[in-house]
Amino acid sequence: MPLIVWGHNIILEEVNWADTSTIIPGYGQLGIAGLFLGALLLLALIVILEKPVTEFFKAISFLLFVAIALGGTWVLVDKTLDDVRLSPTGGPVHWHADFRIFNCGKEINLVDPVGLSNRIGTSEVHEHDDFRIHIEGIIATMHEASLGHFFEAIGGELTNNRMVVPTNEGMVVMENGDTCQDGAVGTLQTFLWSTDTSREIWVAKEQKLGPDFPEYVIAPETIVPPGDCIIFDFDSVKKKTFRTCEQLEAAENRGDLIISWPDLGDDIRN
């Protein structure tokens, strides 16, 4: 145990032994459940190697198996119930929002996911190479469903003046004041397409988010639309955008939705 404590730069005298998250930093009750499982496996190994096996040893082993299994199950259930109780949503969520990223007019794709999970990010906040933000499971704070946290979860960064995007070619960095190839001074801007579902035929409307856009929490919708469509555009300053997401256009083509295109005025469709 001291190795675990010291390895996470925690002073031994400050450890609260009643707090499992201190004993096993970052894991808490799940770590204790792991210890139960490890004890169960160790007991199984002892039973296999012990020869001859007496009736008394069999009975004790069985009781220990039951106690360890029930203890581990209780810890996991308690952990889940505790997470649900503390969650601002009162339980698991399954929210989605589509997005597109443009760097001086060129669309950027996130790095391809690898492995069996087929995702980049965490189990709660991720992307599946589908231009979609996935917020799934139990979230501890609403911030976990924000745009800024999404980019943090996938290994990038999003502030009101800087965006870092992981791609197959490496990190793409866009920062206010950087110059595009055409000489335009770039500014990071975020546009939101939200869907009004109060009418018989839904209407998608666009708005430009303010400078606090990294803190924007996506709409609590499972399907897009009515879930959000978010356009990140690093380019010269625009008031509006004509760009939208594939699912919005598909819904319009089906007759399920009307896209309320903005009057671009002097803004150029590029």
Residue count (the chain): 270
pLDDT at 251: 95
| Alpha carbon distance 28, 139 (integer Å) | 16
Domains of the chain, by residue range, sit at 2-86, 93-260
The answer to whether residue 155 scores a pLDDT higher than 70 is yes
Mean pLDDT of 173-195: 96
Tell me how many degrees the CA angle 184-187-190 measures, rounded to the nearest 5: 130
The answer to whether residue 264 scores a pLDDT higher than 90 is no
pLDDT at 89: 80
The DSSP secondary-structure symbol of 19 reads -
* Structural contact between residues 228 and 221, judged by C-beta atoms closer than 8 angstroms: yes
Structure tokens at 150: 């999404």
Task: Give the distance between the most distant pair of CA atoms in the chain.
Answer: 89
Q: Strand 229-235 relative to strand 187-196: parallel, antiparallel, unpaired?
A: antiparallel
Asked if omega into 226 is within 30° of 0 (cis), the reply is yes
Structure tokens at 225: 């639309």
Structure tokens at 83: 């997470």
pLDDT at 125: 96
| Alpha carbon distance 246, 237 (integer Å) | 24
The answer to whether residue 14 scores a pLDDT higher than 50 is no
pTM exceeds 0.75 for this model: no
